[in-house]
């Protein structure tokens, strides 16, 4: 399914927000404390009880194959979902436990954006960006809450000079590409698209 206007607006807003936040890039990962899987389960038991989360977890094994430079840019990962711990903590703080679909969507979005780090092929980047856009598209929050979440997430992924430089590199490679929510399913039904993408019924 090609070009979805809502996704286009949100993706464009992310780029605009990033330009406005260029001076907020001095944070580091020094405050992050590694957690065990059991601690993550205690923190968010629904994270592990939902089929959609299980699908996210099964898709994160490729993070084990990242290079040393990619790992340094990404930061600390001790959770089984393969996204930065501070990004996961932020997601759990900003999105209520009762909104399981939004949490699944946000984790998938973060996972695919994180996968872009270190990728040099613009077509591969475009494919990952389409999947991340699908994650944004399926976040079931109010417009205001979704905007707030994306702004905070955008700051996190640019919170060091090296991460900011990497996001600029990625954006340069993606310049001129069509970003769409590619769900891999031929339907215009919003619920069916997101159910398919999230691995939920």
For residue 128, how many C-alpha atoms fall within 13 Å in the half-sphere facing its CB? 20
Cα–Cα distance measured from residue 8 to residue 10, given in angstroms and rounded to the nearest whole number: 6
For residue 114, the tally of other CB atoms under 10 A from its CB is 23
* Residue 74 tokens, joined: 């990404």
Is residue 11 pLDDT above 80, yes or no? no
Q: What is the pLDDT of residues 73-122, one digit of tens each?
A: 888 888 888 899 999 999 999 999 888 889 989 999 999 999 999 999 99
Q: What confidence category does residue 50 fall into, taking pLDDT thresholds of 50, 70 and 90?
A: low
* Residue 144 tokens, joined: 């205001």
Q: What is the pLDDT of residues 163-189, one digit of tens each?
A: 999 999 999 999 989 888 888 888 888
Cα–Cα distance measured from residue 117 to residue 97, given in angstroms and rounded to the nearest whole number: 29
């Amino acid at each position: 399914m090609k070009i979805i206007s809502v996704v286009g607006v949100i993706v464009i807003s992310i780029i605009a927000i990033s330009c406005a936040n260029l001076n907020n890039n001095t944070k580091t990962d020094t405050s992050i404390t590694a957690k065990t899987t059991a601690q993550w389960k205690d923190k968010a038991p629904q994270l592990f009880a939902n089929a959609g989360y299980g699908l996210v977890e099964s898709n994160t094994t490729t993070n084990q194959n990242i290079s040393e430079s990619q790992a340094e840019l990404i930061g600390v990962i001790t959770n089984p979902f393969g996204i930065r711990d501070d990004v996961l903590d932020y997601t759990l703080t900003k999105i209520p436990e009762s909104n399981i679909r939004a949490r699944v969507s946000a984790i998938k979005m973060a996972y695919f954006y994180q996968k872009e780090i270190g990728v040099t092929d613009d077509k591969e980047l475009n494919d990952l960006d389409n999947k991340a856009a699908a994650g944004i598209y399926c976040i079931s929050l109010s417009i205001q809450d979704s905007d707030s979440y994306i702004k905070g997430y955008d700051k996190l992924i640019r919170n060091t000079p090296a991460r900011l430089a990497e996001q600029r590199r990625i954006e340069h490679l993606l310049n001129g590409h069509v970003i769409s929510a590619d769900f891999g399913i031929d339907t215009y039904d919003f619920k069916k698209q997101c159910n398919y993408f999230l691995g939920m019924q």
